[in-house]
Amino acid sequence: MSLRIGDDAPNFKANTSLGEIDFYEYLGDSWGVLFSHPADYTPVCTTELGKTASLKDEFEKRNVKVVALSTDNVESHKGWINDINETQGVEVTFPIIGDESREISQAYDMIHPNASLTATVRSLFIIGPDKKIKLIISYPASTGRNFQEILRVIDSLQLTAYHSVATPADWKDGEQVVVLPSIKTEDIPAKFPKGFVEVKPYLRLTPQPNK
């Protein structure tokens, strides 16, 4: 059965390039990004892991811990990390899971038989501090992820988790947001003192409340 947004993220213990981890313990009170790769020593994945490493400060300031996964073994990961560091000009400091048994890949539905019977697709899960899945994105093996979009989504998820707002199309951190329909228009001034614009009774815009 495939996972859906709002489901509990399956916990697991795994060997990684940084030693054994318990996933829930590793995340602690942080947000998490778990993402998979079809195989080690593949070109698109090399650029993706390099990009992730280069964004270390961006993830840290958002209180996000990153974990990668491939069905190759940990020793293979360690050799690949040397290549990533060399070719991408970075230092990979986050763990890469060795999932040779494919137990974790199966639990997270990362193997799509119509794409490959053995390799994980390029799946990504954003997991909240409550250990529930907040976002699922799956790319084909041939297409690298857009990491600016991943950071944008994390910004949106964190904003909407703590304020009664949603984010409109193409929203970026600092731009105006949408007041949730559950809030009555007469209650908006008290909750959002920066003001609001009523485009339609169901579409009310207000400045980002935490800026």
Separation CA 198–CA 89 (nearest Å): 48
Clarify whether 37 is annotated catalytic. Answer: no
- Give residue for tokens 């060997």: 15
Which tokens go with 58?
């961006």
Strands of the sheet with 133-139, listed across from one edge: 19-22, 13-16, 96-98, 64-70, 31-37, 122-127, 133-139
DSSP string, 100-152: TT-HHHHHTT---TTT-SSSPPEEEEEE-TTSBEEEEEEE-TTS---HHHHHH
At 6, the amino acid letter reads G
- Given the residues 14, 45, 49, 177, the one annotated as active site: 45
Which positions are catalytic?
45
